[in-house]
Chains A and B, each alone.
Chain A
Amino acid sequence: MGAKRIYAAWAGVHFFLIAAVCVAGIFSLVADGLTILPSAFDSYARKGELAAASVLGKEMAASNPVRRGIATYLDAAGSQSGYTFFAPNVPGYHRLILELYYHDGRVEYDSPHVSGGAAALRLDSLLDRLAEPGYEPLREVVVKMLAFSVWQEHRDVEKIRAIFGSVNQPGIRDFEHGKRESFQPLFSFDFSLRNKENQSTTR
């Protein structure tokens, strides 16, 4: 009976934490105004999200052992994020186009690539993440790394202009009327590779 109680207690704590993660995810969607709920709910949802986050120790200092313990456990159990895939709506997708400027004045176009389909899916997932506001501080660094991975295959390239943008998909009706997807540049970075300097510009 003692062992059963321990198992039951563990299950209680385990599902309490998972519930907190899931509830925080739902509240976050509502608070960000991404759902069909009226905007009057936004502020309540933000409070709810904060409450759920505080249950997970996210309001504590980053070095707090309780916060770290909860984060480690949730990561180990694969439950650190909610289950809001493709929800509430399917986001648009993004593309990174690299303009390769050669020493002799030639310009070629390329994109970061991988060999297998499974890895390609992950690369697309990374590009979609880069568009999120939370990834703004990392954007330039990651784009630089992706540009560098392409440069390794084109060593005689002098400069790379990385253009990151969203692809606007046509809706069903638009598609029927002949409209096709269009590329909307969001920002671009210039990387000068010969002299190891880079400049960036945001559009």
Chain B
Amino acid sequence: MTWLRRWWKRLMDFLFPPETDKWLAVLRIGLGLQVAVYALFLKSDWNYLFARTGSGLVSRELGEAITSFDSRLIPKLGWLVALGGHIGIGEETVLSVAWACLLCAGCCLLLGLFCRPAAIIAWFLHLCAAESGGLLAYGADNFMTIGLFYLMLSPLPDRYSLDHRLVKTKPKDPQLLGFWRRVLQLHLCFVYFFGGLAKCLGSGWWDGTNLWRSMTRPPFNIISPDVLIRFKYLLPILGISICLLELGYVFFIWMKKTGSVWLVCILGMHVAIGLTMGMYLFALVMIVLNLAAFGPDFGSLSLAYRQRFHAVFTKQLTP
């Protein structure tokens, strides 16, 4: 019984470490930038991608029908279009308003204005777009949803937001801040462990073939194959490094001696993916999530800060 209690206490200590809200500020600003860039990148194609049958690239309704097969409760742009229809607003206008709202939500997150409503609106609208355009979605969409989901649930606003400066909000419970950061950290460990494991199971990552294939196939062929071929002896080393980096993330990111090295390597990998393959949105969201989860200088609280928070909360809890 004592063993069980000790185990439970350890689990609670692990899940609820006291944290400052710096990581949350990084997540909010980073995702705000991500949402704004996402909206701006898709500006010229937004209506074309999400229009109904016959007016766009592929039918939004088809994507939504596939999504509805899993569950009808998953948010989609069709809901907003139907709502607009009831009050006499056309599809094109509704889609444009949705795009504008998404951009506004991104800017609000960036500034820290109306943090919670902005996070909820950004999550909802992005999820609607990702699900309605399910056939056109790719990895970056999943990671944006993950980030916005956690951001929406985290104890906003943080100290660096305009919300905090305009309306002096009370400091958030450091243990609750620590919990949400821990959840993000654990999620990234899942992402890299299973991503790394799947790569290790493919022969092409051990001999550099997969790096060659990924960097020479459109639309990722930013570097000419003629240039890439000069580094052919480096490709197997880089391929194996990626496998080990991802697979080892779950272990080495937590250790004091290796944590910062692993983080720098992972960030370097995502910067390289962004620059050499043109996957800017994917690279940005991964960098933001990693910085928020394991970023420098906010891994542990300084004693003074911890004491200050403790004093505030002791005062609040005392009747």
What chain B residues lie within 8 Å of A11 (beta carbons)? Answer: 15, 179, 183, 186
Taking a contact as CB atoms under 8 Å apart, the answer to whether A145 and B198 are in contact is: no
Report the bound CA distance from A92 to B217 in whole Å. 8
Taking a contact as CB atoms under 8 Å apart, the answer to whether A112 and B57 are in contact is: yes
Inter-chain pairs besides A11-B186, A82-B198, A87-B198, 17 sampled, C-beta below 8 Å: A7-B176, A8-B11, A15-B190, A34-B202, A72-B74, A77-B149, A78-B144, A78-B149, A83-B192, A89-B204, A90-B213, A90-B214, A122-B133, A141-B62, A167-B217, A169-B216, A172-B232
Taking a contact as CB atoms under 8 Å apart, the answer to whether B212 and A172 are in contact is: yes
At the interface, yes or no: B104 with Cβ under 8 Å from chain A?
no
Closest chain-B Cβ to A128's Cβ sits at a distance in Å of 9
Count how many pairs of residues, one from A and one from B, have CB atoms less than 8 Å apart in the complex.
215
Q: Are A8 and B12 CB-contacts (below 8 A) given A78-B149, A85-B139, A86-B214?
A: yes
**What are 14 A-B interface contacts by the 8 Å CB criterion?**
A8-B12, A11-B179, A14-B183, A67-B71, A68-B73, A78-B127, A86-B210, A87-B195, A90-B210, A114-B48, A120-B219, A142-B62, A149-B57, A169-B213
Q: Are A115 and B71 CB-contacts (below 8 A) given A83-B195, A121-B219?
A: no
What chain B residues lie within 8 Å of A35 (beta carbons)? Answer: 201-202
Q: Are A88 and B198 CB-contacts (below 8 A) given A18-B187, A112-B57, A122-B49?
A: yes
> Restricting to A3-27, which residues have a CB under 8 Å from any CB of B?
4, 7-8, 11, 14-15, 18-19, 22-23, 25-26
What range describes how many residues of A lie at the interface?
A: 35 or more
What chain A residues lie within 8 Å of B280 (beta carbons)? Answer: 118
Of the stretches B37-45, B88-96, B163-171, B257-265, the one at the interface is B37-45
Chain B residue with the shortest CB-CB distance to A1:
B12
Q: Are A25 and B198 CB-contacts (below 8 A) given A75-B127, A83-B190?
A: yes
Give the secondary structure class of B's interface: helix
B200-236 Cβ-contact flags toward A at 8 Å (1 or 0)? 1111110011101110111100000100010010010
What chain B residues lie within 8 Å of A26 (beta carbons)? Answer: 194, 197-198, 201
At the interface, yes or no: A55 with Cβ under 8 Å from chain B?
no
At the interface, yes or no: B276 with Cβ under 8 Å from chain A?
no
What chain A residues lie within 8 Å of B195 (beta carbons)? Answer: 83-85, 87
What chain A residues lie within 8 Å of B216 (beta carbons)? Answer: 169, 175
Top 5 A-B pairs ranked by shortest CB distance?
A88-B202, A78-B145, A87-B198, A118-B41, A119-B45
A63-82 Cβ-contact flags toward B at 8 Å (1 or 0)? 00001110110011111111
What chain A residues lie within 8 Å of B57 (beta carbons)? Answer: 112, 114, 123, 145-146, 149
B49-82 Cβ-contact flags toward A at 8 Å (1 or 0)? 1000110111100100011011111110000000
What chain B residues lie within 8 Å of A172 (beta carbons)? Answer: 208-209, 212, 229, 232, 235
